C-alpha cells in the first residue's frame, strides 16, 4: 500500500473501518451485524452496503470479488488513519501546533493517571531526541 493520502472518512465510514480493523476482512453482512449488535434498530443492511461501495470507490477499502459474498478490508491501518486525521485536525483547527491540540484535549476531559504517565514517557522520549 502506498503512502498516498487517503480521503478523510465520514463518521459512518469510520464506524465501518473500526469494525474492519477489529474483525479483519469481512463481508457486508458481518460488518452490518457488528454495527447493529448494540443497536438493533441502527443502520440498515442496504445503507451499510452502499457506504462500503462508496468507500471502495474512494479507496478507503478494498473488495475481494473472487467469492459470491464480497469480502472487504481496510486499505490503511487504524494507526495510519488516526495519524492522518490528527494531522488534518492540527493543521485546520490548531494552526499546525500539536501542543495546542494536546493542551485543548487534556483540558476538555479527565485523563486517567495511566494515560498521563504514558504521555510523560512520550514527552521524555521526544525531549531526548528519539522518536
What would the DSSP string read from start to end of 20-42? HHHH-SEEHHHHHHHHHSS-TTS
The model's confidence at residue 1, banded by pLDDT at 50, 70 and 90, is: very low
CA gap 64, 70 in Å, rounded: 6
130 compared with 124, residue with greater pLDDT: 124
Convert the pLDDT of each residue in 29-41 to its tens digit.
999 999 998 787 8
Q: Grid coordinates standing for 121?
A: 514517557
Evaluate if residue 65 carries a pLDDT over 90. yes
| Angle, CA of 26, 28 and 33, to the nearest 5° | 90
pLDDT band at 130 (very low <50, low <70, confident <90, very high): low
**pTM strictly above 0.85:** no
The residue extents of the domains of the chain are 11-74, 78-128
CATH code for the part of the protein at 11-74: 1.10.10.10
Amino acid at each position: 500500500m502506498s503512502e498516498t493520502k487517503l480521503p478523510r472518512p465520514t463518521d459512518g465510514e469510520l464506524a465501518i473501518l473500526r469494525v474492519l480493523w477489529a474483525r479483519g476482512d469481512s463481508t457486508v453482512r458481518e460488518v452490518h451485524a457488528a454495527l447493529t449488535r448494540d443497536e438493533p434498530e441502527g443502520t440498515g443492511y442496504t445503507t451499510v452496503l452502499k457506504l462500503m461501495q462508496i468507500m471502495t470507490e474512494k479507496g478507503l477499502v478494498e473488495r475481494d470479488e473472487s467469492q459470491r459474498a464480497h469480502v472487504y478490508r481496510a486499505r490503511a491501518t487504524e494507526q495510519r488513519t488516526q495519524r492522518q486525521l490528527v494531522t488534518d485536525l492540527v493543521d485546520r483547527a490548531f494552526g499546525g501546533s500539536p501542543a495546542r491540540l494536546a493542551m485543548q484535549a487534556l483540558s476538555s476531559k479527565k485523563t486517567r493517571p495511566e494515560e498521563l504517565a504514558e504521555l510523560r514517557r512520550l514527552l521524555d522520549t521526544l525531549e531526548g531526541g528519539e522518536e
